[in-house]
Amino acid sequence: MQTSFRNNFLSTKKATSALTRLPPAFVALLVQLLALCTMLLVANTLPLQKLTMFEWAVLQGVTAATISHQLKMPIWWFLIHLIFTPALVATLALSLSPLWFFGAFLVIALIFGKTYQTQVPLYLSSQEAAKTLASLLPNKKKFSFIDLGCGCGGLLNNLSKIRPNGSFHGIEAAPIPFLLGKLQAIVSTPNKTIQWGNFWKHNLSSYDVVYAYLSPVPMQTLWHKACREMQPGSILISNSFIIPGVKPEKTLELNDFTGSTLYLWRIGENTE
Ligand SMILES: C[S@@+](CC[C@H](N)C(=O)[O-])C[C@H]1O[C@@H](n2cnc3c(N)ncnc32)[C@H](O)[C@@H]1O
């Protein structure tokens, strides 16, 4: 009995870790399909025919969220699975023109489309993060700063105003945030530039400070890139995400709405 429980436990654990190696969007699709099959099974076996379409959707959402919880997917997937089908059914009930859905799909794809590859969605640094970052930057000496994945450029905008002695650069891969940032850069402070592109292809050797607010996924690779390219004495700062196995020189807890933390590493002669 105990052995079979242990074997079941181990095979579930193995299946979960195999799933985590698949692209998250693919796992999400599997979860939704599994929840849908469960609903079809329930509909055929239990006397629940009186439920409305929306109630079925809520049941499907709860099932999908429970599966994602069992698979130990990050908490945001729990929420996405919970509301996905109910939101779909509620929106369809509004009988809107398909053009609205196409428009919404395009906007979402142009903001979050690359998340499938990069596994870094768009969320913005807080004002508190900008203030604390500014306090770490030289206030007279010239310096260069890059924001890897600069979103709409809001952080660069704040910093370039507080530290006019710095030159600020941002790279963004998502078209809509890039365009918003670029437009703002044209009309605002002259010490700020924003380019469209992939920061993995951008050399970091000319920057004194490299800032990254990404996700846990790319941090190890970012560290290797920083060690290869950044000059001794330059600084890498990450908002919220640590580099596994590399102790930061400084850790600054922020008093913002997400309770985030800034981690700072100084690149040395032989850092790796
Ligand atoms: C969490 S947001 C941070 C935005 C901004 N840096 C801030 O702190 O407010 C991360 C951004 O990085 C962008 N990104 C992710 N991988 C990228 C890559 N390889 N090249 C360029 N941008 C990337 C995403 O599109 C997203 O806008």
Q: 215 and 119 in contact (C-beta within 8 Å)?
A: yes
Give domain status of residue 166, yes or no. Answer: yes
Q: What is the pLDDT of residue 52?
A: 87
Q: What is the pTM of this model?
A: 0.75
172: amino acid identity, one letter: E
| End position of a domain, from candidates 44, 76, 95 | 95
Enclosing H/E stretch for 44: helix 24-45
Look at residue 14 in the predicted model and tell me its pLDDT: 55
Q: Residue 243: how many CB atoms within 10 A of its CB?
A: 20
The answer to whether residues 83 and 132 belong to one domain is no
Burial class of residue 246 in the structure, from the number of CB atoms within 10 Å of its CB (0-12 exposed, 13-18 middle, 19+ buried): middle
Please tell me the predicted confidence (pLDDT) of residue 74: 76
Does one domain contain both 159 and 204? yes
Q: Do 91 and 145 share a structural domain? A: no
Q: Which of 50, 51, 176, 57 is nearest to 113 (CA)?
A: 176
Per-residue pLDDT tens over the stretch 176-190? 999 999 998 888 878
Q: Do residues 49 and 71 lie in contact, with contact meaning Cβ atoms separated by under 8 Å?
A: no
Residue 120 Cβ < 6 Å to ligand 1: yes
Q: Helix H segments across 71-126? A: 75-93, 98-112, 115-118
Last residue of a domain, one of 71, 95, 119: 95
Same domain, 88 and 200: no
How far is ligand 1, taken at its centre, from the CA of residue 268, in Å? 26
Cα–Cα distance measured from residue 106 to residue 5, given in angstroms and rounded to the nearest whole number: 48
**Does ligand 1 come within 6 angstroms of the Cβ of 150?**
yes
257 in the same domain as 132: yes
Q: Considering the domain boundaries, does residue 103 fall inside one?
A: no
Mutate to test the pocket of ligand 1, among 180, 201, 213 (most ligand atoms within 8 A of CB): 213
Q: Would residue 117 count as lying in a domain?
A: no
Q: Within a domain: residue 120?
A: no
CA-based radius of gyration for the chain: 23
Domain limits for position 69: 2-95
User: Ligand 1 centroid vs 177 CA: distance in angstroms?
Assistant: 9
Q: Which residues does the chain have with pLDDT short of 50? A: 1-2, 5-6, 9-10
Residue 78, number of CB atoms within 10 A of its CB: 15
Whether residue 122 lies inside any domain: the answer is no
Q: Using CA atoms, how far apart are residues 173 and 199, in angstroms rounded to an integer? A: 8
- 61, with CB counted inside 10 A (0-12, 13-18, 19+), is buried
Closest ligand 1 atom, residue 215 Cα = 1
pLDDT value at residue 2: 47
80 and 134 share one domain: no
Q: Which of 56, 16, 14 is nearest to 38 (CA)?
A: 56
Q: Which atom of ligand 1 is nearest to the CA of 177?
A: 27
Cα 84 to chain center, whole Å? 19
Claim to verify: residue 186 and residue 262 sit in the same structural domain: yes
Per-residue tokens: 48: 């629940």
Q: Which of 164, 231, 152, 230 minimizes the C-alpha distance to 192? A: 164
Which tokens belong to 46? Answer: 């239990």
Q: What is the DSSP letter of 222?
A: H
- Ligand 1 in contact with 124 (CB < 6 A)? yes
Q: Is 112 inside a domain boundary?
A: no
**70 and 131 fall within a common domain:** no
Number of domains in the chain: 2
* For the CA of 150, the nearest atom of ligand 1: 6
Residues 85, 189, single domain; the answer is: no
pLDDT at 113: 80
Instruction: Confirm whether 106 is domain-assigned.
Output: no
> Rounded CA gap, 211 and 160, in Å?
14
CA distance 245 to 144: 27
80/141 same-domain check: no
32 C-beta neighbours (distance < 10 Å), count: 20
- Residue whose CA lies nearest to ligand 1 atom number 9: 124
Write the CATH number for 140: 3.40.50.150
3-class SS at 21?
coil
**CB-based contact 258:160 (threshold 8 Å):** no
- pLDDT of amino acid 249: 95
Q: Which string of DSSP letters, residue by residue, matches 257-272? A: TT--EEEEEE--TT--
Query: Do 154 and 83 share a domain, yes or no?
Result: no
84 plus 134 within the same structural domain: no
Residue 139 lies in a domain: yes
